[in-house]
Amino acid sequence: METTLIILKPDAVQRGVVGRVVTRFEEKGLQIVGMKLMQIPRATAERHYAPHAGKPFYDGLLAFMTSSPVVVMAVRGVGAIAIARNLMGATFGSKAAPGTIRGDFGVSNAFNLIHGSDSTEAAHKELGLFFAPGELVPWTRMIEGWVYDLSSGTAE
């Protein structure tokens, strides 16, 4: 099982699509183990986007991500990182396939609604930026056997 960070960005919150986006993760079979509405402090945004420091879009990105509340979510599942990234779609809404979050809700090449960790290492780091120890709540879903084939005793 993997746990990954998802951020529903200011444009998703302002446009009122948070519930519809969260539903997609749940309907796919991923388990929410942490979720909160927050205003990202500038220092946290700077740490999160440090790999982009010095790029032409960096200052605008920080201004955007700190301009309005976001919803941060920790989702868990077998292959959660790849599954989440497939659900999100291509980075730019104008190029994202229909059926993906960005393809269905986005047209902008700047405001792209959602962030998801792109690797196990990034997920671990990013989850630590947005969730304090003890804020993630691992819990047993009664439907686990209906989400995964557990015939071997573990989720496939």
For residues 88 and 4, give the distance between their C-alpha atoms in angstroms, rounded to a whole number: 13
Residue 124 is a catalytic residue: no
For residue 72, what is the enclosing H or E element?
strand 70-77
> Are residues 112 and 8 in contact, defined by beta-carbon separation less than 8 angstroms?
no
Higher pLDDT, 24 or 111: 24
Which of these is catalytic: 48, 52, 115, 124?
115
Model confidence band, residue 109 (pLDDT cutoffs 50, 70, 90):
confident
Predicted local confidence at residue 62, as pLDDT: 96
26-69 pLDDT tens trace: 999 999 999 999 999 999 999 999 999 999 999 999 999 999 99
DSSP state of 15: H
Could you tell me the CATH superfamily of domain 1-69+87-117? Nucleoside diphosphate kinase-like domain (3.30.70.141)
Instruction: Number of helices (H) and strands (E) in the chain: give both, helices first.
Output: 8, 4
Strands of 114-116's sheet, edge to edge? 31-38, 70-77, 2-8, 114-116
Alpha carbon 91 to chain centroid, angstroms: 13
**What tokens does 97 get?**
């396939």
The C-alpha atoms of residue 3 and residue 48 are separated, in whole angstroms, by 17
Task: Give me the torsion for CA of 34, 65, 106, 54, rounded to 10°.
Answer: -120
Residue reference for tokens 């047993």: 140
- pTM of the predicted model as reported, rounded to 2 decimal places: 0.94
Compare 84 and 138 and report the one with higher pLDDT.
84
Angle ∠(64,14,105) on CA atoms, nearest 5: 95
Is the pLDDT confidence value at 3 over 80?
A: yes
